[in-house]
Every structure is written in structure tokens, then in C-alpha cells.
Structure 1
Amino acid sequence: MSLTVEAPPAERTGTSPSRRRRFGFHARMMAPGILLLAVLSLIPLFTVIAMSLSRVRLLGGVSFGFVGGENWARFFTDIDLAVQWLRTLVFFVLTVGLEMLLGVGLALCLWKIMRGRNTLLSLLLLPMFVAPVIVGLLGRFLTDSTFGLYSWLLGLVGYEGDLLGGTYSAFISVVAMDVWQWTPLIALIALAGLTSVPQPLREAAAIDGASGWQALRSVILPSISSVLLVALLIRSMDAIRYFDIIAVTTNGGPADATKVVPIRLYETAFRFFDLGYAAVIGLVMLAVTIAIARAFVGVLERKGLTR
């Protein structure tokens, strides 16, 4: 007679009861926070989606009148909004590109400095701690055509125009303000990556006769590429929603020269009270932001940095 002993359910599934109980306890503890986060996130999202399919009326109380895809059809035929998306793309490329180049350059300079690095880094980080609204007000003061310091300096080389009054100069000015404020963040992240580059790796490159440029291109930058990618992701998420400085300095002018999509969204919602169409613009901005973030996360996954 053969005796068959059946394994307990926990042994058949490969998980111990203690592990299941531990996971269940953690899940129960996290459940209230997850539910609260879901309520705070999903209810506004569904409300905005409903607004995008409606004509929102505010007189006599908020009411939604269903219009189907009318707002979405308007979005895809709005030529002015298409120009503003293109302007936002140009602004995004200029600000993020300049901040990455200048930030990495400053980080390399600080990396080579042995004495006084902490003092210089503290001074470099000061713009990052200033509120964007204050940066905008400071920019307006410095670029004022009558008493602004920058206008006076440009006047010495023959430029007599109003920096915030010209179409091209206003756009360049708001780009410069954003670059001035957020380049230190890129420099800080890049410097943290540079300090983690292994010393033997640099010594091996020097022994092989690599020049400074060759070592930078073939050893240092590849070693901090993942750090730079994270810095690029952080700045990209913020640059696509850029609003504060433009709203304070030019408010989208002159002649819509600095009107990016967030400024158009604000005007549509709170100046013209076209909340249905504003919801469409906001949802598209959300989708673009998620797409950019997902692209960066995909690159990080291919590099094996998300595990």
C-alpha cells in the first residue's frame, strides 16, 4: 500500500503564509492613502473629460451642456493654437537645450575646482531658490527700457529697442530668464554624477594617452549619461508647463510673440471662460506630458536603470 502525502497549499504555490500575511498587512495599511489619492486624481480627471464634451455655463450655477466632439473638432482646426504649439516646442527646445549645455559645462568647471567649490556652488544655486514670479518681476525691472540694467548695457553697444516690446527680443528674454533660473539645477545634478565617476577609470584613460576632450567624450559623459537623462526628464516635465515668468513679464505679448500653450489655456479658461475648450487643451497638454515622461522612462528601462 502506497502512502501519498499532499503538500500544503502554501508549498504548492511556492509562497509562505507569513509572506501572504505580510503582503496583506501592507496592502491594508496603504489602502486608505491609495483610495484618497485615487479620489483626488480620478474625480478631477473625469470632470475635465466631461467638460471637454460639454459647453460649460457659469451663470446661475455651473451646468454642463453636452456638445459631443464639438470642442475637439475645434481643437484640430484651430490655426492659432497650432502656432502656439509650435512656439511652445521652440521654447521647450531652446530652454532645455541651453540648460543642459550650460549646466553640464558649469558642473565640469566646478568638478575641476578643488578650493572654494562649496562656496561657488552655493552662489550658483541661488537663482534656483527664487520663486518664478519674483524672477519675472526682476526680469521686468532689469529689461525696462528706461532704467533697466540690461537695457543700459545693450544701449552701450547700439541697441536702443525695448527688450520686452519686440517680438523676437521678448521671446529671447523669457527664454534667458528660464535658463538663468534652472541651469543651476542641471549643474547640481550633473556635478553629483561627476563625483561618482570612478577614479581608476579616469586614470586608465590618462594612461592610454586620451586627451581631455577624448576622456570627456568617451569616458566621463557615458558614465553620467543616466544622471543627465534624469535631469533632462525633470526639466522637460517643467518646461512643457512653463507659465509663471511669461505671465508676469509679457503675458503672451507683444502680438502673441510669447504666447505658449499654458498662457493660451489660462486665457481660454479664466479670461474668456470657455471652460469646455480649455478642458480640451488641458487634456492634450496632459497627454503630451505623459508621452514625454513615458519616452524617457522607456530609455531608462532599456539602460536597466528602473530596476
Structure 2
Amino acid sequence: MSELGRKKKSQGFELAMMTPALILLAIISFVPLFTMIWMSLNKVGLIGGLSFDFIGLDNWAKLFSDPDIGSSWILSLIYFAAVVGVEMILGTAMALLIHSLIKARNIVLSLVLIPMFIAPIIVGLLGRFLLDPSFGLYSWILSTTGVYDGNILGTVGAAMAAVIGLNVWEWTPLIALIVLAGLTAVPTDILEAAEVDGASYRHKLVSIILPSILPILLVALLIRSMDAIRFFAIIFITTNGGPADSTKIIPIRLYDIAFRFFDLGYASAVGLTMLVFSILIATAFVRVLKRKETTV
């Protein structure tokens, strides 16, 4: 048997071995997806058992004319941009600082990563107690220093800043960890040559380090973007979308539609828009990443 024949036989055997897992994965992935699409075209009833009343595109027409959904998407984009932007900047800075350490690097890294291993619900509960206007430590510090003396989680604007801060505190270490792994691939010989030529740290950072870790930064940005657009736990525990819907981003709105008002057909349409948005974001980042890889 020729080399080509053996290769084809090997590929056929591997495909046959993977087929059961692929079928199971397809069932797990596509059955819920097509169920959601079907539900978005129906008025789903729960009284007396699950029932479907086909209404066509009525849920979708309602979706694109609902001002509450529009305001939630605006809040989601603000939350998304703030969380991802701040996490990328702080995470990259933390990684650069940790990478520059000569001693106790592993100890510092272990301490930095602690927030990442705390469940988001616990982070939300911690934030809720620490920001309580009566006995919260953070509220007391802000009031004592004269920075802010109101109810942080009960004030429009301050509540959004608080939940953004809690998210940033928890997930910035993940960005730092990813970027720190990428920094190990920066060519040391080029850095040493730049030092010999008298280049400052800023020039090395802009001209050598950041271009070298740009693909890693894009991967980190993609990972956090996929999570930030569907983030739920911290806001649900701390403000539940309040005050006055000022933190009701689209996942919280989706929860209310599905589990408070039990409009599962409309909720399916809203959920599918979140899925489409996530796919568009992921596709854009992957294209940019491929373009960077081809230019390197």
C-alpha cells in the first residue's frame, strides 16, 4: 500500500472513531438552537403544560420596536466597552510589572490570581456588603474621605460604575495571566540589542514588546468579550438591574422576560440576538487575528 493510501486509511479510521462524539456534540449544540428558533416564532404557553401557538415574526417585530430592549442594548454596549477596555489595559500593565520582577514573581502572581478563582456570585455578595451604605467598608471609606457619601448601589451612574469595578476586579487577573504567558515569547535578543542601542523602556514597549504579543492580546480580548456580553451573576446579585433599570443590561432583561414574565417565545428572540452579536464579535476578532498572523 502506498503512503497516500495509508494516510487516507488512517484519516478514515480517525474520522470513524470521532463520529459518535461529533454526533453527540451536534445534538447538544443544534437541538437547543433549533428549539430556540422555533420558540421565537411561537407564543409559548406554560399553563396546563407546554404549548406552542405559531405567531410568525411577531416576537421579532416586537423585539425591534421595544424601547426597553433598545435601552438594555445601549447599557450592554457601555458595560461591554468599559469592562473589556479597562481589563485589557490593567491586565496588560499587571503582566508587564509581574514579568519585570526578578524575585517573588510566583508569589505575586499567585496573589494576583486569587480574585479569578472566586465564584461570580460570591463576588456579587461581597460587593453588595462592602458597598452597603449602612455598614459597608467601601462606603465608609468613600464617605470618610469625602469622595462619595450616597448609596452607591442605589444611585444611577454610581451603580453601573460599581458593577463594572467588581467585574474588572475579578477578571483582570485572567488578562494578566494570558498576557504574561505571551511575554515569554518576546525575543530577548532583540530586547538586548535595543538596550545596547540605548532604547528607553517606552520605545521597547511600543516597538518590540506590544507588537510581539499582539496576537495574544487579541486572544485575551476575544475571551473576555465573549464572557462580558453575557455576564449576569454580579449584576443580578448586587443591583438586579436597578436602580431605575440603570444596570439592566441585556442578560438581566432576558432573565426578566423569561422567568418573571414567562414570555419564553419573546425571550428566545432576545437570546438569539445575543448569540448573533457574540458570533459577529468572535468573527471580527478571528479575522483580525488571521490577518496579523499572515503579515508576521
Normalising by structure 2, what TM-score?
Answer: 0.97
Q: Tell me which structure has the larger Cα radius of gyration.
A: 1
1:207 corresponding residue in structure 2: 196
The one of 266, 274, 278 equivalent to 1:285 is: 274
The one of 205, 208, 220 equivalent to 1:231 is: 220
Whether the 8 Å CA contact 1:52–1:72 is kept in 2: the answer is yes
2:74 corresponding residue in structure 1: 86
SS at match of 1:51: helix
SS at match of 1:272: coil
The one of 45, 53, 63 equivalent to 2:33 is: 45
Q: CA deviation at 1:172?
A: 0.3
For structure 1, the 5+ residue unaligned runs are 1-9
Distance 2:212 2:33 in 1: 40
Whether the 8 Å CA contact 1:81–1:261 is kept in 2: the answer is yes
2:49 corresponding residue in structure 1: 61
SS at match of 1:55: strand
The one of 131, 144, 159 equivalent to 1:170 is: 159
Letter in 2 for 1:107: A
- Structure 1, residues 127-161: CA drift from partner, whole Å, max 9, x if none? 00000000000001110111111001001122220
Distance 2:98 2:6 in 1: 51
Distance 1:133 1:281 in 2: 24
2:97 corresponding residue in structure 1: 109
What's the Cα RMSD here? 1.2
1:160 corresponding residue in structure 2: 149
- Structure 1, residues 64-106: CA drift from partner, whole Å, max 9, x if none? 1000110000011011111110110000000000001101111
The one of 219, 237, 246 equivalent to 2:235 is: 246
1:143 equivalent to 2:131? Answer yes
Q: Which moved more, 1:96-105 or 1:203-212?
A: 203-212
SS at match of 2:293: coil
Q: CA deviation at 1:207?
A: 2.2
Moved over 3 A (4+): none
2:122 corresponding residue in structure 1: 134
Q: CA deviation at 1:201?
A: 0.8
Distance 1:193 1:298 in 2: 20
More helix by share: 2
1:219 corresponding residue in structure 2: 208
Q: Could you tell me the percent identity over the aligned residues?
A: 56
How many residues get paired?
293
